[in-house]
Amino acid sequence: MSDISIIGGGHASGKLVNNLHKLEFKGNINIFSEEEHLPYERPPLSKDFLYGSKKFEDFKIDINLEKVNYYFSTKINKIDFINKIIYDQNNNDYSYDKLVFANGSSPKRIFEENIEGVNYLRTLNDSVKIKSSIEISKDIILLGAGYISLEISSTIKKNYPNKEVTIIDNSEKILLRNSNDDLREFIFKYQKKNNVNFLFNTSFQKLIRNEDGSIKSLILDDNKILACDLLVVGIGVYPNTDILKGTMLEEKNGIKVNEYCETAVKDVFALGDVALSKNNFLNKHIREESWNNAEKQSDILAKNLTGTKTAYDEIPWFWTDQFDQNFQILGEINNFDNKILRNYSENKNTIIYFKNKKIIGAVAVNNGRDISIIRKIIKKNIVPNMEKIQNKDINLKELL
Amino acid sequence: MSDNENWIKTYAVSDIDDEDVKEFQLPNGNKIAVYNINNTFYATDLFCTHEKVSLCEGFIDGDSIECPLHQGVFKISTGEVLESPPTEGLKTYITKIEENYIFVNVS
Ligand SMILES: Cc1cc2nc3c(=O)[nH]c(=O)nc-3n(C[C@H](O)[C@H](O)[C@H](O)COP(=O)(O)OP(=O)(O)OC[C@H]3O[C@@H](n4cnc5c(N)ncnc54)[C@H](O)[C@@H]3O)c2cc1C
Ligand code: FES
């Protein structure tokens, strides 16, 4: 049986290993991870772990280390697809039979180099560092109004309502990507209610430091000075494809794979945040950057690597938890021709989006049950009865 | 505790529709979920093992309950995890029907 070598030790990698073991894969598994920790799920890093109500043990992915060769703190720097060899940061070489890219994505940076006091949140270590800084900071600035910043602001305000938290974005609204105006309105309402400050259409031009080198304030584009003792930047992520430069698999927006997680190169696979995957529901290639994508692709790839050819057929789904509210996005929520709001109460809503009379997506606030049902309706290709959908007293389950 | 004291009277059979679930508070303060699946009654802990969210807000599909928060799935009859994110199973309770009431064993 061929051996499998995996680059990356994050969510997708950890789950892939466990799924391979469940399917009784008998070959060797080699995992090369830049991090010094076991794989873990990342959502708690901006939520419960940052808040202090979850420990690493609660979200780490347990792997039986006796059954794998785990190379901790090992970054793969170079790949030779022709001779099937990978090289780490110390130029050690490892040959492979089958190679899996599970090396995720990285936060986009505002400065090329690492600058003291400019924080990003991607890893456990980042979260630990930001958590301890929050405790001693008064004026916190989050650059970028994406999901990460909105979750951090929620976590800080829940713990420390009196700390000043300001989110700055150079566009005119929150969540420019992976969102729509309905969701923005819901989320913005909770952020404002909890006294998070927002500054739109601006960015900063300069950092002012104290004598000890720590950040004191930011000078914004309009020359306004904003006090700041903690800066976290969350302006999006990019796929970790730099190691492919100059190879036959060079890709810009992720490593292109089909619905079986296969790349264009034989015996080479990719999944999770780094993969630009064929999504059958949307009929295009997308990079999903979600927990669900990492989780479900690891299941699919394990099957494919053990001989059961299985296609990925998930409808894109993402959740974010902020201020004890759960927001979920399913499917396509932008290119619709009709929408219906099911307003159950002030804090419980579902908006369903249609195209050509069929449901294509939904946004739900504190109503995961509707999302579960709508996912089934879409998968079963049901043309729903509009009268029933419009009547919130009718359980959506009746449409199944 | 005598065996009799271990059996806690919860809802009347007619209180819970088929494929529905209701929350119930035990005398010790713990909350459970009582389910009617095809006129067989089951009971599990109320909260998902992933985070403290009531499974009564979840979606029942046959013999499984899907958590409303992150769509973890548990088998209602055994409590086992069928789909992540939860990794720990749900505690289940034995039930019996007497005089049209659902009793739950808390021993
Ligand atoms: C703070 C935070 C909160 C999130 N919250 C949510 C949420 O609420 N809901 C949701 O759906 N999704 C959420 N996500 C997204 C989700 O966590 C990711 O989509 C998921 O982690 C992707 O898994 P992955 O295995 O592809 O990548 P990762 O988990 O990032 O793992 C990649 C691993 O590869 C390693 N690596 C990279 N390059 C190399 C190399 N050359 N050699 C060796 N190792 C390498 C990295 O160090 C990393 O350990 C969140 C992400 C973050 C950061
Ligand atoms: S709280 Fe139930 S799956 Fe997360």
Closest CA to A302 of A29, A23, A78: A23
A203 and A343 together in one domain: no
A229 and A259 together in one domain: no
pLDDT, residue A250, reads 79
Residues of B in contact with A376 (CB under 8 A): 61
Could you tell me if residue A9 is inside a domain?
Answer: yes
To the nearest whole angstrom, how far is the Cα of A383 from the nearest Cα of chain B? 20
pLDDT, residue B2, reads 56
pLDDT, residue A109, reads 94
Of A233, A259, A281, the domain-final residue: A233
Q: Please, where are the H alpha helices in chain A? A: 11-22, 48-51, 56-59, 124-136, 147-159, 181-193, 291-305, 368-379, 386-390
Nearest-by-Cβ selection for B69 from A317, A326, A373: A326
0.90 surpassed by pTM: yes
A21 and A96 together in one domain: yes
Written as six digits, the tokens of A158 are 């829940």
Q: What is the distance, to the nearest Å, from the Cα of residue B94 to the centroid of all Cα atoms in its chain?
A: 10
Q: Check A291 against B85: CB less than 8 A apart.
A: yes
- DSSP characters over B50-93: SSS-BGGGSEEETTEEE-TTT--EEETTT--EEESS--SPPPEE
Query: Tell me: the pLDDT tens digits for A133-152?
Result: 999 999 999 999 999 999 99
Query: Tell me: the pLDDT tens digits for B45-101?
Result: 999 999 889 999 999 999 999 999 999 999 999 999 999 889 899 999 999 999 999
Q: Check A372 against B61: CB less than 8 A apart.
A: yes
A253 and A328 together in one domain: no
Q: Check A367 against B68: CB less than 8 A apart.
A: yes
We report the CATH number of the domain holding residue A188 as 3.50.50.60
The overall average pLDDT reported for chain A is: 95
What SS3 state is found at B16?
Answer: coil
What SS3 state is found at A243?
Answer: helix
A164 and A269 together in one domain: no
Beta-bridge partners for A317: A330
To the nearest whole angstrom, how far is the Cα of B34 from the nearest Cα of chain A? 17
Ligand 1 neighbour A288 (Cβ under 6 A): no
Give yes or no for residue B1 having a pLDDT over 80: no
Query: Tell me: the pLDDT tens digits for A352-381?
Result: 999 999 999 999 999 999 999 999 999 999
Residues of A70-94 as b/e, b for ≥16 C-beta within 10 angstroms?
bbeebbbebbebeebebbbeeeeeb
CA–CA distances in Å: residue A198 to residues A43, A47, A216, A320, B96: 23, 20, 19, 19, 56
Domain ranges, residue A82: 4-106+237-305
Strands A230-233 and A118-120: parallel
pLDDT, residue B3, reads 65
A218 and A290 together in one domain: no
Identify whether B86 is preceded by a cis peptide bond (ω within 30 of 0).
no
Ligand 1 neighbour A318 (Cβ under 6 A): yes
Closest CA to B69 of B91, B89, B90, B49: B49
Beta-bridge partners for B69: none
We report the CATH number of the domain holding residue A364 as 3.30.390.30
Backbone dihedral angles phi then psi of residue A132, each to the nearest 5 degrees: -70, -30
Radius of gyration, CA atoms only, chain A? 22
pLDDT band at B4 (very low <50, low <70, confident <90, very high): confident
Residues of A342-370 as b/e, b for ≥16 C-beta within 10 angstroms?
beeeeebbbbbbbeeeebbbbbbbbbbbb
User: d(Cα A116, Cα A269) in Å, to the nearest integer?
Assistant: 37
Of A233, A249, A271, the domain-final residue: A233
Of A233, A250, A276, the domain-final residue: A233
Query: Tell me: the pLDDT tens digits for A227-260?
Result: 999 999 999 999 999 999 999 887 889 999 999 9
A124 and A157 together in one domain: yes
A123 and A272 together in one domain: no
pLDDT band at A19 (very low <50, low <70, confident <90, very high): very high
Residues in chain A: 400
Query: Tell me: the pLDDT tens digits for A111-120?
Result: 877 787 899 9
CB A353 within 8 A of CB A360: yes
State which ligand 2 atom lies nearest to the alpha carbon of B86: 3
The answer to whether residue B20 neighbours chain A at the CB level (below 8 Å) is no
| Mutation choice for A interface testing from B59, B61, B64, B83 by most A CBs within 10 A | B59
pLDDT, residue A254, reads 97
A121 and A189 together in one domain: yes
Q: ipTM of this predicted complex?
A: 0.87
Residue position matching structure tokens 């994406």: A146
Could you tell me if residue A319 is inside a domain?
Answer: no
The total of structural domains in chain A comes to: 3
To the nearest whole angstrom, how far is the Cα of A283 from the nearest Cα of chain B? 24
Would you give the DSSP letter of residue A192? H
pLDDT, residue A107, reads 97
CA–CA distances in Å: residue A390 to residues A30, A344, B59: 53, 12, 20
CA dihedral A182, A185, A191, A194 (to 10 degrees): -120
Residues of A in contact with B81 (CB under 8 A): none
A226 and A285 together in one domain: no
Could you tell me if residue A177 is inside a domain?
Answer: yes
Q: Which CATH superfamily is domain B3-105 in?
A: Rieske [2Fe-2S] iron-sulphur domain (2.102.10.10)
A120 and A100 together in one domain: no
pLDDT, residue A132, reads 95
Residues of A in contact with B71 (CB under 8 A): 317, 368, 371-372
